[in-house]
A and B are shown apart, each in its own frame.
Chain A
């Protein structure tokens, strides 16, 4: 993916840029609002990581509003120390696709940016998700693996659906909480792990090859054997 990082703090920017490059992305970096706006408007990116408070008279939200006013639909992840619910709402209203507050774990940022970058390409009218021998039918709400029917609770079905839609990508616990349960706070207890482990019991355990993998320090990934 080609990613633009607009961030004025050298350390944070260096950390993000290096991390993204290491995971195989092409990264451009802008240090202030003016350069950020110029680059975002004149070049094509798959995703933009945008700090809110920037020097140079143009802050993150202004960049975002300008881009959206020009009908530029590039996925934007806002990265900000402003963590209030109202600030988050403000960021999303201005056209942000996701909002991550500082401080953050790089794994979280990476997982979310990759999810954003691919979202644009996902077919909207899919009725069936398939990974290896696992099939999930969105219309009949049935799950089969190797032709065998698997009975899932409604919530387990949605959890599996989320993992399959993000197949091959890291999905963090926070993303699952937000995407499957619509919870926007950290429940401290390992509730997500328990749900995933129950899903594994049904989807992976009876079969020789596991599909749901735990990614250390990050979260989970559903992927076909051999694929990375």
Chain B
């Protein structure tokens, strides 16, 4: 479930980080722009005033007060933009030259920038001035009318502030969107998990189809759920099978014992009944052990003890074990394989899987039939096939043949628990392989497809 406390919400944190990052970058951009526009105007004005004043002071040094007055008047006359401001006064602050009427009281000491309101040719305007002290008590004021530039600067500054404000608003909106996106994605997973926790195992995380990280996460979760589902089906299948397939022999054993206890007329009868019941119980135990072994294999814990296993050794061993049985039945058991075929696996399980396949093949072979066992390298996979000429398994039953307790019609009359192929399949899965059942026309071909050792290692 999604925590709604604002600061404990990961969505809120993501949104906040997004907003802060966006605002900081927008502010940095605005400051940069301001520095290169409004700031540049100010700096240009100041340097123009300095250069102007430098020239005037040099004139005063060369031509005295008359030269300076002349130069000021020349410059005023030549000032097309009408933005220059000069004022030269004597030690009593009486105007000598310049375009200001009186000394502005705000300019009280030299060496500082001053900005103030002036009234020039009937218009209110803004002046930026600098005061210079000349020899003989003269004071010089040099400046510029900055009304237009200040207006431009203010305009720029305002625009940038507004821009930052808009960015801030957008960042907030974006943060909300990011948060809700995040929440929606998590809510998708969370809702599925909650539904499954509540017992609806059919639920799956919705995949948007964009193939992004969230889709990948959803797919991984769905794969996991599918696997859990398969395992649960297995358990359900096993419990049903146990209920059904073990009740029968247990009932039989029980009936035999009770019958003997009530009706046996001789010791020999009693012994016979007990022996039969013991055999029944042994059969039940064998089924239990096979079931537990399959469960153990499916749990995957045997993977920890994987090491290099030679398939050829397993095949030869099994062929050796079953060769005699086949011969007894008049069945030829032929084996073809290369020198070595190594996989990474559990030797005992591989042995048992091969043994189960060969056991089946020999069991279902007709008299004078042939069983072919081959292990080969097909491309980058190891392929082990066991082919018989028996009745085979009808196509519609083939997918069910690897289920626990499945017994085909052809198997009705033969001994067996219906767990052999289920075990082979479990072993195949454990080793990252597959078991396929094919039509050998006539007969059955069981194909065990496994990855060679190098591949599993990598």
Contacts and interface: CB of A to CB of B under 8 A. Distances in A.
30 contacts: A83-B289, A84-B292, A85-B296, A85-B302, A85-B348, A86-B301, A103-B285, A105-B282, A181-B321, A182-B317, A183-B317, A183-B321, A184-B348, A185-B293, A185-B348, A185-B351, A186-B286, A188-B359, A188-B415, A189-B322, A189-B325, A189-B359, A189-B362, A190-B325, A191-B322, A191-B324, A194-B324, A194-B325, A195-B324, A198-B324
Given A155-B320, A181-B321, A185-B348, A83 B292 contact: yes
B321 A187 contact: yes
Given A103-B285, A184-B348, 6 more contacts: A84-B292, A85-B302, A155-B320, A185-B348, A187-B355, A189-B325
Contacts of B278: 105
Q: Which secondary structure characterizes the binding site on chain A?
A: loop
B229 interface: no
B359 A187 contact: yes
Interface string B273-307: 00100100110011001001100100001100000
A66 B25 CA distance: 72
A101 to B, nearest CB: 8
Nearest to B301: A86
Interface string A95-114: 00000010101000000000
A188 B302 contact: no
Contacts of B337: none
B455 interface: no
Interface of B: 275, 278, 281-282, 285-286, 289, 292-293, 296, 301-302, 317, 320-322, 324-325, 328, 348, 351-352, 355, 359, 362-363, 415-417, 420
A184 B355 CA distance: 12
B30 to A, nearest CB: 68
A215 to B, nearest CB: 15
Contacts of B362: 189
A19 B5 CA distance: 72
Contacts of B352: 183, 185
A61 to B, nearest CB: 19
Contacts of B328: 194
A227 B362 CA distance: 39
In this complex, which of B278, B355, B362 has the most chain A Cβ atoms within 10 angstroms of its Cβ?
B355
Interface in A138-183: 155, 181-183
Nearest to B415: A188
